[in-house]
Amino acid sequence: MTLNNQLLVALFGLGRAGKFQLESIRSNPGVSLIHVVDTDLEKAKAVANEFGCEYGRSVDEPLSNAGIDAAIIATPTGEHFGQIVASLNAGKAVFTEKPLGSGLEEIDTCFQLAREKRLPLFVGFNRRFDPSHSSLAQSVRGGEIGALQLVRITSRDSPLPRMDYIKTSGGIFHDCIVHDLDMIRFISQEDPIEVYSVGSNFIPEIQAFDDLDNVLVSLRFASGLLASIDVNRFASYGYDQRIEAFGEKGMLHSENRYPLSTVLSSEAGVSRPPIEFSFPSRYREAYHCELETFRKCVVKGIPLPITYEDVRMSFLLSDLAECSYREGRPMRVEG
């Protein structure tokens, strides 16, 4: 597709997600930024200056540039669906942040179009690419702990997101828990048969949005596997991201990471500086691996690691988990 396996990309959006995509692009010698798009033209221009690339307010120009292989979509949620469709129609491979659209139908549309166009549609479930999470998943699937009996995931955000973000986030099930549901399927390679959720609020503003800030999800699988996810919108001590997998032969953890490896022993005890504060630093390596994997999907034709089925199921399970909370009863998962 390109000389030397170099991937030539346009980046749409320079917000929160766009920023760490930029960082991944910068340090990946196999990816070149050709065009950057943002509604804030000054922002786009500054990036263009650094990267020696074009910039603008509209996606039309890069989509009609035959020299561009792929679009990286990091715009606000509401624009994803339209840009995915336009990009695929323009013959570009697509790397998009989730969600693809507003529901199962739009997800189906995107993947059907990608299939028709024979173009990679890569959905950003970044946590699968975290070296520690991914090593845990590989070990489980490789049988290192024998038959899998329990998976526990803790996901607590830090810092507390802005209320205007939360308001339009789609709610804690579709914004946060979808990642954990995907991770459990990624680790277990099995779909649950039942979902049950309880939730509560400690932050009144979030309750006012009819959203939750504290949720506990239980999952049951046909193999006997059980799973538990606990999610919170705010952990005072940092971005808390832990996985535990328990099996007949052992237990695996993927634990929190620390920016510093210093330890202080004093009269008060033995202490370390806080864990990673937020997702851009915690998942920096995951974002780098994710982009590099996308590059290989496009230029080397390796299969997409996240399939249509993955995207559909994580959406469906998030929906059922929310339903379970609202109806106060366990929900069966219908294939």
Residue number with CB closer to its own copies (4 or 64): 4
Q: Which of residues 238-297 bind its own copies (CB under 8 A)?
A: 238, 240, 246, 248-275
User: C-alpha dihedral over 298, 301, 302, 307, to 10 degrees?
Assistant: 70
Q: What residues from 124 to 143 belong to the interface with its own copies (CB under 8 A)?
A: 131-132, 135-136, 139
Question: Running DSSP on this structure, what letter comes out for residue 172?
Answer: H
Size of interface with its own copies, in residues (CB under 8 A):
78
Our finding on whether 210 is near its own copies (CB under 8 A) is no
The DSSP symbol for 329 reads S
Taking the complex as a whole, the smallest distance from the CB of residue 164 to its own copies amounts, in Å, to: 22
Site for its own copies in 55-94 (CB under 8 A): none
Stretch that binds its own copies, among 57-65, 93-101, 232-240, 295-303 (CB under 8 A): 232-240
Task: Name which position in 199, 287, 289, 331 contacts its own copies (CB under 8 A).
Answer: 199
Expressed in angstroms, the distance from the first to the final Cα of the chain is 37
What is 186-219 written as a DSSP string? HHH-S-EEEEEEEEE-S-HHHHHTT--SEEEEEE
Judge contact between 82 and 57, C-beta under 8 A.
no
**Residue matched to tokens 């792929």:** 70
Nearer residue to its own copies within complex by CB, 138 or 307: 138
Q: Which residue, 27 or 102, has its beta carbon nearer to its own copies?
A: 27
In the complex with its own copies, the residue whose CB is nearer, 117 or 220, is 220
Question: Do the beta carbons of residue 33 and residue 49 sit within 8 Å?
Answer: no
User: Minimum CB separation from its own copies for residue 200, in Å?
Assistant: 4
- Residue 67 or 76: which CB sits closer to its own copies? 67
Looking at 36, 110, 225, 298, which residue binds its own copies (CB under 8 A)? 225
Q: Is 113 in the site for its own copies (CB under 8 A)?
A: no
Nearest to 162 by CA among 238, 235, 233: 233
| 156 touches its own copies (CB under 8 A) | yes
Q: Does 11 bind its own copies (CB under 8 A)?
A: no
Distance, CA of 157 to CA of 51 (rounded, Å): 32
Nearer to its own copies, 86 or 226 (CB): 226
Backbone angles phi, psi at 51, to 5 degrees: -90, -5
CB nearer to its own copies: give 1 or 263: 263
| Residue 149 binds its own copies (CB under 8 A) | yes
Is 5 a binding residue for its own copies by CB under 8 A? The answer is no
Binding of its own copies at residue 144 (CB under 8 A)?
A: yes
Q: Hey, is 27 helix, strand or coil? A: helix
Q: Under the criterion CB under 8 A, does residue 190 sit at the interface with its own copies?
A: no
**DSSP letters spanning 69-84:** -EEEE-S-GGGHHHHH
**H or E element, residue 331:** strand 331-332
Please give the angle made by the CA atoms of 190, 191 and 195, to the nearest 5 degrees: 135
